[in-house]
Chain A
Amino acid sequence: MIRRFGLAGLALCLPALMGASGSGMGHLRVINLVDGAPQISVEMCAENSGECRSLDIPADGLTETLDLAPAVYRFSVTHADGTTEPFSYGIAPDHEYGLAIYGLSSAKDKSTLFARAKRFLGGLEVRAVNGFRVSHRMVTMAPGKADEPASLRMANFSVGTVALQAGMETGEGTRAIGTAAYAGISGPLRTTDASGAIDVKPDGSDLVVAETPLELPGGSSTMIYASGMTDGEVRLVIDQRVADKASPN
């Protein structure tokens, strides 16, 4: 009897918790930062409708902004050396997201027991729990109004590097974005500068390992992804969103 009531309660509770969404669309870009894979294929299916789509993303590339019906989506990623375990993310209306797929294509894909325990007990913030296996991380990209400062962050998905520090050189000097260990994110740096030169160095070093110029529209939200390294080169992939226009840089 208790079990029956419990199941009935759960059945009533879940739709209420995960209830119907607003009318807006969610906006997603998927970024391929997998080292050693010339291309990845991402399959994503809405769990409520079963509707699926496949994406082929070249190395260090990112998709156009996908306008998605709000739902929980189930993803699987096929890369040069295998397919990841499926994983899910919620896509809510009127939110902008970036989904980074990162890791080393040749690393063992199977999750260890310790990695599973660490993930269960550690929660969403525990990254890289199983060496450099191909993994994923969602970030929010929330551009502000055009008269607000631009926001910059740096994500370190460069396999095998020490922590990386990023800065922005402007005419008035260098401003630190922050330091991030592998699979970590630093920043944000909020700035009213219209442009600058981004440089990335190993933490505590003056050696610039990657750099790129960057335009910074007012209110824009920019994520600088550091990738690569196994071939000896750190590369920067830029995802920038502005309030009324969101397109790859």
Chain B
Amino acid sequence: MSGDSDTKLGPVRVWALAAGGMVGGGIYIALGVVIAVAAQWAWLSFVISGVIAVISAWSYARLSNKYGKSGGAFEFLEDMDRRKLAGSLSWLLIVGYTLTISVYAYAFGHYVAYALAGGEWMIRALAILIGFGLIGLNLLGVGKMTSVEVVIVTGNLAILVVLAVWGLSQWDGLQLVSGIEPRAPWASIVGAAAIFVSYEGFQLLTYEYDQIANPQKTFVPVLVSSAIFVVFVYVAVALGATMLAGALTVVEQKEIALSVAAKNAAGTAGLVAMTIAAAFATAAAINSTLYSTAKLAERIANDGMLPSWFDHENRFGVPDRPVVLIGIMATFLAIIGSLSSLVEAASLVFLVTFMVVNIIAWREMDDWRWIPAIAVVLSFIVGLVLIARLAVNAPVPLALLAALSVFVFVARPMILARVHTEGGE
């Protein structure tokens, strides 16, 4: 690790990184997707998935305190002596993070190209530029820049809050269904399923547990309060941006919905401010996710659950092979994938992961066990809805995910038995 990460992270920085990890890219692309599904109940979708996220943050933080080390779900399962499940879940997580990075690169390309009046080729070129640029920065050992990230997160949140307040000050309920068909309240469950990935970012902090100052005292309240804050931000932005642009405009221009809302509110100045916020937020989210995913891959390779090829560092101490492989795959997906498919495939991966972590919390905790139980039930319902939605509307991405899951849970042990690993499984 490099930069300023030698010093321990205080609660304010942890809070900012957790909130920023969630808001970093999610809201920029999720809003149009969720309004298309839940219409005027989009805000409720953010609340439903937010309840799962807040409880999951609580479970992650408490389990991290219990086991006392970095590593998140992988480490929890390892300490429970469930090494095979830990290995399979970690492979699935790497897939989820790769999809998430591709969503952020997709958002970066669209927001910046819109401000520059660029077309499809510029969008793709920008996605490639940010993908390869951040691979390069990571390889040079500047992948983790917590101070810079905190500044970006703060600016990003400030701009989003201003947009939300501006929109809410012009409240007109009809904007929530402007040009669209009103839907029944239970459509909010489908919406919650579609955009769950918007909340995944907080768990990256569990990989930095060793770097957090006094975590036994601060980690639970800091992680949970940041998740609650993000739920409020998402609800406020969902309502505020819709007031400024109208629901149908947000759906039609979902790739750049917040830029359209900001432009409607404050003209060119609004567009410039939102583009800068989106560009920095998505870039920072790509950077931190790529860094953390590569470190995770290196760690599990070190434990013999990925081929030892992944357990390699360059002269800057960076796990270079995972950085390059994950970065290239994510960039490729950003260029070829459709927004909804990427978002929803990633959502499914994280719903499964969070459900597993809440099951662990339910089993391993001595008190408050009903709290993760609620999240398990909610995740199960939302997950089933998402699978049904994908089966009906996007069977190909679902089939690919299913094949990948079979590969991860069935073929992975056979592959690891045949290739060189650090000690074997």
Contacts and interface: CB of A to CB of B under 8 A. Distances in A.
Contacts of A108: none
B228 interface: no
A7 interface: no
B332 interface: no
Nearest to A142: B249
Given A126-B393, A140-B249, A89 B180 contact: yes
Interface stretch (A14-22, A31-39, A53-61, A241-249): A14-22
Given A125-B36, A140-B246, A18 B174 contact: yes
A174 B215 CA distance: 62
17 contacts: A15-B173, A17-B176, A18-B173, A19-B171, A20-B172, A21-B172, A70-B172, A72-B174, A72-B177, A92-B174, A92-B178, A114-B392, A117-B392, A121-B385, A122-B392, A124-B180, A126-B393
A88 B182 contact: yes
A3 to B, nearest CB: 15
A208 interface: no
A19 B173 contact: yes
Contacts of A89: 177, 179-181
* Closest A-B pairs by Cβ, 3 of them: A90-B177, A92-B178, A123-B37
Interface size class of B (residues with CB under 8 A): 35 or more
A167 to B, nearest CB: 13
B255 to A, nearest CB: 13
Contacts of A18: 40, 173-174, 176-177
Nearest to A190: B117
A71 B248 contact: no
Given A92-B246, A118-B392, A97 B37 contact: no
B190 A21 contact: no
Interface in A131-166: 138-140, 142
A244 B171 CA distance: 25
B321 interface: no
B179 A122 contact: no
A120 B38 CA distance: 9
Given A18-B40, A122-B392, A90 B180 contact: yes
A127 B36 CA distance: 12
A91 interface: yes
Contacts of B190: 120-121, 123
Interface in A83-125: 87-93, 95, 97, 114, 117-118, 120-125
B36 A124 contact: yes
Contacts of B249: 140, 142
Contacts of A118: 392-393
A162 to B, nearest CB: 19
A72 B173 CA distance: 11
Given A90-B177, A95-B179, A121 B393 contact: yes
Given A87-B181, A121-B388, A16 B173 contact: yes
Interface residues of A, number: 36
A89 B176 CA distance: 11
Given A93-B172, A95-B246, 10 more contacts: A18-B173, A70-B174, A91-B178, A92-B246, A118-B392, A123-B191, A124-B181, A138-B179, A138-B248, A185-B252
Interface in B213-248: 246-248
Nearest to B243: A92
Contact of B179 (A22, A92, A126): A92
B369 interface: no
A126 B392 CA distance: 11
B70 interface: no
Contacts of B183: 123
A18 B182 CA distance: 10
A16 to B, nearest CB: 7
B173 A20 contact: yes
Given A18-B40, A72-B177, A124 B393 contact: no
A92 B392 CA distance: 32
A140 B178 CA distance: 9
B130 interface: no
Contact of A21 (B35, B37, B173, B187): B173
Given A90-B247, A138-B248, A142-B249, A17 B173 contact: yes
Contacts of B40: 17-18
A118 B37 CA distance: 11
B175 interface: yes
Interface string B326-354: 00000000000000100000000000000
B83 interface: no
